Amino acid sequence: FRLATTCRRSLCCIGMPAQQPLIMSRVQLRLARSLEEFFFAAPGTPSEDPLVVSVRRDAAGTRRFIASVGTFGAYMGALTCVVCSTFLALTWDACGCYDRPLRWWVLLYVILQACQLPMRVVLVAGLRNAESSGRSAEAFLTSLTASRAWQIGGVLGRLMYTWQVLGALWWLGAESCPSCPGIPKLMAAVLLT
């Protein structure tokens, strides 16, 4: 396993005492294997995902596209999570006066966004790693897009878009709440980005 080997090598680099690596290395190895099995399919597993088809046609263009869109998506997702979580933490009680559950909508939106961040980071970082080490972008994307994590990410993405439609309807139909004028603005910013 690529990730497990990297994890094993990193144990030597962090200067762990000779008595402790056995327990820690087993735990880290198990975790690394589990993560690798979740994010990457077994070698030879086919995938006809549009990203794989695209990288077959134009590898350099697809890498540039994924790097720019994926990086932007990861940063915006993290920023959205931080801003919305901070807003909710500061105004949770004040925003309970709406006739629609807008604060709960924002909370679930943050959760859905946070669940998709690891896949975005693995996509961008893995593609950069494949490119810098001279490995095939097609092999990396095939393994990634055939994984359980990619399938779950697809379901989460569809759920998030459905949640956005519902949020837009609630936002448009919500009556004003003088104690929490910020949540409609926050929702507008989230829905329009």
Find how far residue 125's CA is from the centre of its chain.
12
Predicted confidence at residue 75, as pLDDT, reads 95
Instruction: For residue range 119-157, list pLDDT tens digits in order.
Output: 999 999 999 998 888 888 899 999 999 999 999 999 999
Distance in angstroms (rounded) separating the CA atoms of residues 141 and 122: 11
CA atoms within 13 A on the CB side of 70: 18
Q: What is the pLDDT of residue 176?
A: 84
pLDDT value, residue 130: 87
- pTM here? 0.81
pLDDT at 21 over 90: no
Distance separating alpha carbons of residues 126 and 131, to the nearest angstrom: 8
Task: Give burial (CB, 10 Å; 0-12/13-18/19+) of 89.
Answer: exposed
The confidence band for 49, taking pLDDT boundaries of 50, 70 and 90, is: very high
